[in-house]
Structure 1
Amino acid sequence: MIANGAVLPMFYLPPVEFFSKLNTFKPNIVFEREEHFPKQTYRNRANIYSPDGALSLVVPVIKGSKNHTKTRDVKISYDFRWQRLHWMSLQACYRRSAYFEYYEDKFAPFYEKQYEYLFDFNRELLELILSFMKIKLDLKFTETYEKSYQDITDLREAFNAKTPTYYEQKQYFQVFDERMGFIQNLSIVDLLFNQGPQAVNYL
C-alpha cells in the first residue's frame, strides 16, 4: 500500500471533486476494487447539466445473488439500450458547448462497445479522461479489502451521489447556466466539454 497517499473508488465519469482529490494525492493513489459493491453511488452514475438541471446517467448492473458482489466482479446489464440513452443525453446537453466536438470521437466508442464488467468500463474511461486532462498517473489497485487504513487517506466514502457536497468550487461557464445558474460538482465531462484543455488548470 502507498504511504501518505489515498485510496479512491472507481467511478463512472467521476465528479469534479474526485479529480481535485486525485490531483492532490497523485501519484500516491490506489483504486478500490475489492469492496462489496455499494448501491446508489457514483460507481455507476454520473450527473450532467441538462436544460432542466442536473440529470443522472445510471449504468445498470446485473443484480447479484444473495452474496455480496465485489466491485471488480459487477457486470453491466444490457437489458435496455442505456448506452444509446447516455450518448444521446451527452450530445443533447453538450452539443452547444465549446469543446464537445473536440472530444466526442474519443468518447463515442464507449457507448458502442459492450463491456462485461463495470470496473473495466470505468477504468478505461478514467484513463481516457486523465489523458485529456494531461494528468499522468499509473493506475494501481487494491489486492485485498481493508475496512480501514492507518497510513493513507481513505476517500472511498468521501463522495456521495445522493447528498449535497461541501466541496467549494470555482464557477466556470456552463451551457445552461443562464437558465438554472451554476451547478457545482457535476461530472468531469461538464468541465471538460465547457473548458477543454483549460480544465486541468481549473483543478
Structure 2
Amino acid sequence: MNNILIHPTYFPSISHFAAMLQAEQVAFEMEDNFQKQTNRNRAFIYSANGKQMLNIPIKHSEESKQKFKDVRIEHAFGWQKQHFKSLEAAYRTSPYFEYFEDDIRPLFEGKAEFMLDLNLQIHEVLCSCLGINIGYTQTTEYLHEVGSDLVDLRPLANGKKDLHTFEPYVQVFDDRHGYLNNLSILDLLFNEGRHAVDYLKKQNIHI
C-alpha cells in the first residue's frame, strides 16, 4: 500500500493503525463534515462483559452540517474519568497496561477543546508507545474523489463498513467471550506491547 487518505480517529481500530503503518505516506482528512456514530469520537475495547464502546460527547451545533475540525468536546459529563476507569477495569491485568499507563493517562487529564486536536494528540502518543514514527500530511480541501496515486481509506472511520478480520492474539477476557476482532489499538498495545508493531505489519488490509 502506497499513499493513503484516512481520518484521524479516537484511539484508532487495529485496521486503521495497520493501514497507516503499512503505508508509505499518510494524509489525514481535515476538511470533512462530522458524521455521528463513527470512530471519529468513539473506540471499542474488551471489557469483562465483552465489547464496550467508549464515546466522547460533543457539543452540538445549530448548523445542519459542521466540519469535524470545528467539533468541540463536551466536558460537562466527566467522560475522561469514565473512559480511564473503563480502561483500568479492562486492562489492569494485561501484560503491558502498567508499562504504558503513564503515557496514556495525560490524554484523560487535559481538556482539549476540539475533537480533532485530541485525535492528533492520541496519534502522537500511540506512535511514541509503539516506538514508531508515522508522519502525515493534512488535506486543505475536501476530496470527493481521489486520484489513482491515493488510496481512500476514509470509510475505515465507520466501523460498520470495516469488515477486516485479523489473526487472533491473547486478550484479557478471551476465556469468557472468545477473541474479539478489530478493537481499538489500545487492546493490542496493552496485550502485546511493542510486539504489536510486527503484528500490524503482517495483517492484510484490503480496500
Verify same fold: TM over 0.5.
yes
Q: Matches of residues 110-129 of structure 1 in structure 2 within 5 Å?
A: 110-129=107-126
**Aligned partner of 1:175: which letter?**
V
Secondary structure at the residue paired with 1:47? strand
Distance in structure 1 (CA, Å) of the matches to 2:28 and 2:128? 17
What are structure 2's unaligned runs of at least 5 residues? 201-207
Q: CA deviation at 1:8?
A: 0.3
TM-score, length-scaled by structure 1? 0.93
Match of 1:150 in 2: 147
| Deviation for aligned residue 1:137 | 2.1
Compute the displacement of 1:157 (Å): 1.2
Q: What TM-score do the two structures reach when normalised by structure 2?
A: 0.92
What corresponds to 1:9 in structure 2?
A: 7
2:100 maps to 1:81: no
Is the contact between residue 8 and residue 40 of structure 2 (CA under 8 Å) also seen in structure 1?
A: yes
Out of 173, 177, 181, the residue aligned to residue 180 of structure 1 is 177
1:56 maps to which residue? 53
1:190 to 187, 191, 205: 187
The structural deviation recorded for 1:160 is 2.5
Q: Which moved more, 1:133-142 or 1:92-101?
A: 133-142
Give the whole-Å Cα distance in 1 for the aligned partners of 2:47 and 2:192. Answer: 17
Task: Report the Cα offset of residue 164 of structure 1.
Answer: 7.1
Tell me the amino acid that sits aligned with residue 25 of structure 1: A
Q: Distance in 1 between matches of 2:155 and 2:15?
A: 13
CA RMSD, 1 decimal = 1.3
Give 5+ residue unaligned stretches, structure 1.
none
Return the structure number with greater helix share: 2
Measure the CA separation in 2 of the matches of 1:14 and 1:175: 19
Post-superposition shift, 1:24?
2.0
4+ long deviations beyond 6 Å? none
The superposition leaves residues 129-176 of structure 1 with CA deviations (integer Å, 9 ceiling, x where unpaired) of 112223222221111111111131111113422x37431301110000
For residues 176 and 165 of structure 1, what CA distance do their matches in structure 2 show? 23
Distance 1:20 1:193, change over 3 A: same
Q: What is the total number of aligned residue pairs between the two structures?
A: 198
